[in-house]
Amino acid sequence: MATATQVARRVLPGRIANLEPQYVIFVGGLGLILALLVIAPLAILLFYSLWSVGPVDDGGSFTLENYRKTFLSSTTYELLFNTAVFGIGSVAVGLAFGVSLAWVVERTNAPLRNFAFVVAIITAGIPPLLYAMAWVFLLNPRTGVFNMPFTQEWGLGWDKGIFNPYTLGTLVVVEAFRLTPTIFLMVVGLFRSMDPALEEAASTSGANMTTTVRKVTLPVMLPGLLGVIIFVGTATIGLFELPAILGMPGGIHVFATRIYIAMDTTPRDYGLATSLGTVAALIGIVGIYYYHRVTRVQQKFATITGKGYRPRRMDLGKYRPWAGAAIIGYFLLMVVLPSVVLIYASTQTFFKPPSIEAIQGGSLEAYREIFGQDAFWIGLRNSLMLIATVPIATILLSAVVSWIVVRSKAPGRGILDTLAFVPFTAPSIVFGLAFLLIAFWVDWIPVYGTIWLIVIVHVARFLAYGTRATNGAMFQLHKELEEAGSVSGVGWLTVFRQITLRLLVPSLIAGWLWVAIHSGRELSMALLLSTRDSQILSLVAWGAWENGRSNEAAAVGMILMAMMTVIVIIARIVTVRLTREQG
Amino acid sequence: MTTATATTERNAAVKLEGLSKTYPGGQIPAVNELSLNVEDGEVYTLLGPSGCGKTTTLRMVAGLEIPDEGDIYFGDREVVVTSKRYRLPPDKRDLGMVFQSYAIWPHMTVEENVAFPLATRHMRRTEIRERVAHVLDLVGLPGLQKRPAPLLSGGQQQRVALARALVIEPKILLLDEPFSNLDAKLREQMRIELKLLQKRLNIAVLFVTHDQIEALSLSNRIALMNLGIMQQQGPPQLLYEEPANEFVRDFIGKTVLLRGKVQSSNPSGQVSVAIDGGPNCVIFGRSYNPDGLSSGEDVYTAIRPEDIDVRPAVGNDIPDGAIAGTVTAALFTGERMEYQVEVDGQGTLQVFGERHTPASDGNKVTLTLRPDGHSVWSSDWTHTETGEGV
């Protein structure tokens, strides 16, 4: 199988004239690549869920035994229940936080509104693995920072703290915290795309603030909100990191962790993993189907806006300082505390609640330790490799797909669009599992055990996000800019390269950054695919955590965070410079 | 300055007193010490270029913006009294408003949109249904109750917005550029319909527009604003024929400015001017210069293009009351001819001629000026840049 980078390289500098057959080959070839990246994994997953033996064994026959075993086991229903509570609970709580924060920032005169924005963007970038670790440090019954008043001051005893990180409730709350900035940023977008006159018309029609919010603001935003709910809900149901760190120690399993356990035992339980994976993918497909329908309705709601965006802000009056305090509280709870506790934890050989002595006794031992390990250097090299290849390949492929979907009249372009979005349906770990099966099946391609397998999986997975970004950008690009190029007498491929791509550069960089951050911190897809030589940094951190070396896990996490920060800053500088050049 | 109409003081439908508003970060006030009355049954138009403060004024009347200074009364009802820190919220003002974007709620049907103001007033269902049907008849959309809002055309949206504004039978109707999103034909039609409707309902309308044709044709009175300051208010004819300052002169209608010398003037402002470029061309006008003009002074006479009669020249004689010129460009626009004419001592003028006796490039023409009714100015300076009233 060709990697996406090679695909992009082969396709772009070609000197294909604007001829129909070549056009067909181009679009058809692209469709084939997408099908291989997207349909093949899901098909093979389905196949092995209906096959009596795993990919490493010979023989086998068609069977429903895997599903029978899975659905006769009570742990499956426990898992479904946990996943439902986890998904619905954390999205509901996150929505309550995110929507109210967005309302305060967009529709009231609360102080620190811009600050809330910066906080949201920073928090949305924290790797979920680190976020989960931080909350263990904060809530651990014996040494958790939040438990200190109870264990030390109240003398309840050293293991009698009232907070416990390893419960379903904590899992829901921490995931809700983690989702809040994402939901906030998406809902702010909804507020901004809404004509403020809709609310003003309700006001002048005699509706007070509450009636206006209830009868106009929320219903108008409802299709958009449903889109946000399905989007973050699907992501949460497939999440591995938080349930692995906060759920597994207390025996609380969701789809992702159960599949991980099935693949972590010897011998591997392919039957259970593939049947659970197929069920999870089906749930995802239903979710995405509704996401598509809902967002289509939303486009119908688009109304002409007469004036520039200048909504009326509600005067909070004496509650203004409280709103400011809430924003600061949000900042402390969601950014400062987790970050500080991680830095602190990386200096402690054994995690102790913070105290003067503990800080004085801190050392950089953990960093020295990991710098001495080969695994760390292999992981670092591979992570850098991922960041160097995955985002560029994903974004270029996305741009080509979007161009065909949005601009061309090629038959079957709708199928391309749908294909590109399918990877979003399955949880990451299921996607990793499916590619593992493929790697075993086509073992004559020596890709298993190398970083390239992970590169391919990442490209296939992030294509779903990449095409959303490039579709949007392409829609905004005025068609006449390209038509002017065509009229000047150049072929469509030159137009695409010289005009479309150039004009899209700022959006492409934004998309690149998104993929770079997510690819660099991603754990669950590589979890089943990595061997010793294809380690990545997030896996090194996970391994250290699993082996009880929390200080090393925190240290690797800090290095990962530092890398991400550098990437964000570079991307920001490049964007600023480019936009200045283009005026 | 303002030709304030002294009417019954307290009972104007809308009364603004010394209204001022500066947006945070704004260099100059968006609205500066604005006072005006809108009488019952009157269409009062706020006209001006974008950024002149007309929309801000309308939004302050609606309660969507808070004035920094000044008071607002609806009849005898206090709406905003800054000194008392009293401010009625928008939902308690009982007025109808049509927004520029119409602001039709997309999640409701036509009926739900129009019924909303009644529903928030907790009216009985049967009565709501009756009144919605009645008002939809009034705006020319009978039977459209069940249509979902996103399926309406632009013109229909506008009518629904109007129906929603009128359904509570308000005493005051606010219109914020309601025609700007319609195409030209529909715009004309809606203009006439609105005027008829307003006459029938006899309500006070405060209307905001930047389109002078709309303003001149719809209004009983117009207030022309620039950079937050009212330049002149009065009936449309007054603003057209007796502009109070150079801004009003240049904003409303077209003017041709002709150089000349004052021959004589009287204290009431009547001036006779000898126009440069004509051997015997003296016309009469009115000066708004408070200091008066002295004989021999260089002045500009503002003449409306329709007061200039353009004919091909006959021989070399220039008749009395006319000036001569040479056509440098002649454009046929269908209903008339548009000429660029080079006139000695005047430079290039843009004038209109009738289409049956056209002149072509290079032809000599005579421009016969209407003998009186013009305005005379000591400069060709326009106040657009500074926005200072006179």
What pLDDT does A310 receive? 61
CA distance B90 to chain A (A): 5
What pLDDT does A15 receive? 38
Report chain B residues whose CB lies below 8 A from the CB of A219. Answer: 105, 107
Residue A336 pLDDT exceeds 70: yes
CA distance B91 to chain A (A): 4
What pLDDT does B265 receive? 84
Q: What whole-number distance in Å separates Cα of residue A457 and Cα of residue A431?
A: 7
Average pLDDT, chain B: 87
Per-residue pLDDT tens over the stretch A460-504 = 999 988 888 888 788 777 777 777 777 777 777 777 777 777 788
Q: Which among B103, B180, B181 is the nearest to A201, CB-wise? A: B103
Q: Which among B65, B116, B150 is the nearest to A205, CB-wise? A: B116
What pLDDT does B341 receive? 92
What pLDDT does A50 receive? 92
SS3 state at B365: strand
CB pair distance less than 8 Å for B180 and A200 = no
Alpha carbon distances (Å) from A463 to A392, A395, A424, A500, B38: 11, 8, 9, 19, 61
Using an 8 Å Cβ cutoff, are A561 and A463 in contact? no
CA distance B53 to chain A (A): 14
Q: Give A1's pLDDT tier (boundaries 50, 70, 90).
A: very low
Q: Give A581's pLDDT tier (boundaries 50, 70, 90).
A: low
Q: What ipTM was estimated for this complex?
A: 0.79
| Domains in chain B: ranges and CATH | 14-247 (3.40.50.300), 254-378 (2.40.50.140)
A280 touches chain B (CB under 8 A): no
**B23 → chain A, closest CA residue:** A310
Average pLDDT, chain A: 83
What pLDDT does A153 receive? 60
CB pair distance less than 8 Å for B105 and A216 = yes
Q: Give B268's pLDDT tier (boundaries 50, 70, 90).
A: confident
Q: Which residues, 6 or more positions from A368, have their beta carbon under 8 angstroms from its beta carbon?
A: none
Using an 8 Å Cβ cutoff, are A412 and A22 in contact? no
| Percent of chain A whose predicted confidence (pLDDT) is above 90 | 30
Residue A4 pLDDT exceeds 70: no
A195 touches chain B (CB under 8 A): yes
Architecture of domain A1-53+368-583: Orthogonal Bundle (1.10)
Taking residue B123's Cβ as centre, other Cβ atoms within 10 Å add up to 16
Q: What whole-number distance in Å separates Cα of residue B53 and Cα of residue A381?
A: 61
Backbone region of residue A97 per phi and psi (left: phi > 0; alpha: psi in -120 to 50; beta: other values): alpha
Give the mutation candidate from B54, B105, B180 for the A interface (greatest A CB count, under 10 A).
B105
Q: Which among A200, A208, A303 is the nearest to B106, CB-wise? A: A303
Report chain B residues whose CB lies below 8 A from the CB of A300. Answer: 106, 150
Give the mutation candidate from A205, A222, A315 for the B interface (greatest B CB count, under 10 A).
A205
Highest mean pLDDT among A57-61, B14-18, B141-145: B14-18
CB-count exposure of residue A23 (10 Å: 0-12, 13-18, 19+): middle
What pLDDT does A22 receive? 67
Place of tokens 């291989």: A36
Place of tokens 């809700």: A176
SS3 state at A353: coil
**B95 → chain A, closest CA residue:** A204
Using an 8 Å Cβ cutoff, are B341 and B351 in contact? yes
Using an 8 Å Cβ cutoff, are B376 and B299 in contact? yes
Specify the pTM.
0.78
Phi, psi torsion values for A52, nearest 5 degrees: -75, -25
Which of the pair, B10 or A291, is modelled with greater confidence? A291
What would the mean pLDDT of B69-93 be, rounded to a whole number? 92
Per-residue pLDDT tens over the stretch A31-45 = 888 888 888 888 999
CA distance A170 to chain B (A): 37
A498 touches chain B (CB under 8 A): no
Q: Is the peptide bond before A149 cis (omega within 30 degrees of 0)?
A: no
Using an 8 Å Cβ cutoff, are A385 and A454 in contact? no
CB pair distance less than 8 Å for A306 and B168 = no
A218 touches chain B (CB under 8 A): no
CB pair distance less than 8 Å for A205 and B106 = no
Which candidate, A361, A306, A337, A295, places its Cα nearest to that of A133? A337
Residue B74 pLDDT exceeds 90: yes
Structure-token pair, residue A39: 């349909």
Lowest-confidence pick of A341-345, A349-353, B326-330: A349-353
**B168 → chain A, closest CA residue:** A205
Handedness of CA A290, A296, A300, A306 (dihedral sign): positive
What pLDDT does A395 receive? 93
Which candidate, A167, A168, A162, places its Cα nearest to that of A141? A162
Per-residue pLDDT tens over the stretch A366-404 = 899 899 999 999 999 999 999 999 999 999 999 888 888
**A209 → chain B, closest CA residue:** B91
Read off the amino acid at residue A223: P
Which of the pair, A349 or A374, is modelled with greater confidence? A374
Structure-token pair, residue A60: 């086998």
Q: Which among A198, A204, A219 is the nearest to B95, CB-wise? A: A204
Report chain A residues whose CB lies below 8 A from the CB of B100. Answer: 197, 306-307
A206 touches chain B (CB under 8 A): yes
Per-residue pLDDT tens over the stretch A155-214 = 555 555 678 888 999 999 999 999 998 899 889 888 887 888 888 999 999 998 889 888
Contacts 24+ apart (CB under 8 A), A61-68: A65/A271, A66/A271, A66/A272, A66/A274, A66/A275, A67/A275
Place of tokens 């029978």: A68
Structure-token pair, residue A538: 């997030």
Which of the pair, A300 or B194, is modelled with greater confidence? B194
Q: What whole-number distance in Å separates Cα of residue B244 and Cα of residue B3?
A: 9
Which candidate, A202, A271, A310, A242, places its Cα nearest to that of A89? A242
Q: What whole-number distance in Å separates Cα of residue B284 and Cα of residue B273?
A: 6
SS3 state at A97: helix
Q: What whole-number distance in Å separates Cα of residue A179 and Cα of residue A120?
A: 10
CB pair distance less than 8 Å for B92 and A216 = no
Taking residue A347's Cβ as centre, other Cβ atoms within 10 Å add up to 19
CB pair distance less than 8 Å for B101 and A200 = no
What pLDDT does B191 receive? 87
Q: Which residues, 6 or more positions from B159, have their beta carbon under 8 angstroms from its beta carbon?
A: B139, B140, B141
Place of tokens 């009756």: B130
Structure-token pair, residue A472: 């949007």
What pLDDT does A316 receive? 80
Q: What whole-number distance in Å separates Cα of residue B323 and Cα of residue B317?
A: 10
SS3 state at B91: helix
Residue B167 pLDDT exceeds 80: yes
Using an 8 Å Cβ cutoff, are A305 and A255 in contact? no
